[in-house]
Structure 1
Amino acid sequence: MYAAFMLFLFMCMTATTHAEHHQPCHSPNMTGFMSVMNLKGEVKAFGSFTYDATAKKLRFKSNDSQPTNTSQALDLLMFFEEGTLYEIDTKNQSCEKKTLQCTMHPLDIPDDATFVSEINSGSASILEEQLKLTMWKGSMLDNKGHYCMSVTSGCLPVNVFYFTEPTSFFISITDVEKDIKDPDLLAVPFFCHGQPVEETVYSFFNEFM
């Protein structure tokens, strides 16, 4: 697992740009599944997500049936334009409201990302056995880390590598559909209304540290 992460990181950092006209695309509305792993191969979280590309809202709910004792039980609702994150506990009808200082997240390419290269995953010669991807890289807020992400030609995210101190993450996106199946998931639950801001969260990724 560690070797695979290092190979992906090496590709991100050493690949050369073949065309200068590429501009970062932006993901559409999506639902799907997301897994977050660290370099030790530990699954920090696995679950479903719903993403509103227009309103910049994301709901992530971890799957309790994930067969690992390292996966965190999380239910997060993030409003990136507002810089607000809710940690939700539906069972106990409680939540914590936090402030996001960094609005970067794994489902969209930042506007200042640098194009790295185009790659064919699978077979470049067999149409049914290939996935054409573009790779992008850049720095995180205040240059405290770096990222490299791969997306399809339709700007659907496939995987993202975040290299930060003290922890690095590999995020994989699967079973993506280009719609919002349940808009209610992106609404603040009634029991969260009026909650004071309890603490500041540096970024989305702090929830997995």
Structure 2
Amino acid sequence: MYAAITLFVFMCLTATISADHHHPCHSPNMTGVMSVLSLKGEVKAVGAFTYDSMGKKLRFKSNESHPMNTSHGLDVLMFFEEGKFYEIDTKNKTCEKKTLHCPMHPLDIPDDAKFWSTINSGSASIEGEGLKLNVWGGSMPDKKGHYSMSVTMGCLPVSTFYFTESNSFLFTIMEVETEIKDPELLVLPSYCVGQPVEETPEGTVNSFLNEFM
């Protein structure tokens, strides 16, 4: 499986398709399930997410409604425009407020992404047995890596590969509904209000991706 994934990404990275007529789209509001798999075979997290595309907010809660033998539980609320995020512990009613250094995440195509190709997952000739996807990609200079993002024609994310020098991950998006089913999930809990920003150790880059490293 990993050899096939590597070959697919290599093909995308070496594509020379002209992207003059393609422009990155932006995902709508979404509620769904996200899984995070290390390409070493470790399931890092599986959980529910809520994404506000206009407000640039994301809540991800793992190991709650979708319990699995994952490496760690995680509950984060990301405010991408403000450049801040919170690691939340609802059981103990505590949270940590941190500076968000990189706004990249697997639910929206970056503005500087490059169009690589259009592919058909499954069968294009059998009705109901295929899914047409646009593949976008780009570099991650801060991590000396690359990413490859597959989205539907309606700009719903399906999967994103992140390849870096130290770690590689596959994010898979499932059970998507184009609405915010519970707006309260994107509201900062009262016990987090007024929380001071924690100091970031020198050399650390805080991002959604880094939460799984």
TM-score of Structure 1 vs Structure 2, range by shorter chain: over 0.9
Please say if 1:140 is aligned against 2:144.
no
* In 2, Cα distance between equivalents of 1:72 and 1:7: 29
Q: CA deviation at 1:19?
A: 5.0
2:175 paired residue number: 175
* In 1, Cα distance between equivalents of 2:127 and 2:182: 34
Query: SS state of the match for residue 26, structure 1?
Result: coil
Q: CA deviation at 1:148?
A: 0.6
2:207 paired residue number: 203
Q: CA deviation at 1:4?
A: 3.4
User: Which letter maps to 1:47?
Assistant: G
Scaled by the length of structure 1, the TM-score of the pair is 0.94
Is the CA contact (8 Å cut-off) linking 2:46 and 2:68 kept in structure 1? no
1:67 paired residue number: 68
1:122 paired residue number: 122
Q: CA deviation at 1:175?
A: 0.6
2:57 paired residue number: 57
Unaligned runs of 5+ in 2: none
Aligned length: 208
* In 2, Cα distance between equivalents of 1:153 and 1:18: 18
User: Which letter maps to 1:11?
Assistant: M
Please say if 1:193 is aligned against 2:193.
yes
* Correspondence 1:35-46 to 2 at 5 A: 35-46=35-46
Unaligned runs of 5+ in 1: none
182-191 or 165-174: bigger deviation: 165-174
User: Which letter maps to 1:192?
Assistant: C
> How big is the alpha-carbon RMSD for the aligned residues of Structure 1 and Structure 2?
1.5
* In 1, Cα distance between equivalents of 2:141 and 2:98: 18
Deviations 1:160-196 (A, max 9, x none): 0011121111110011010000000000000001111
Query: SS state of the match for residue 40, structure 1?
Result: coil
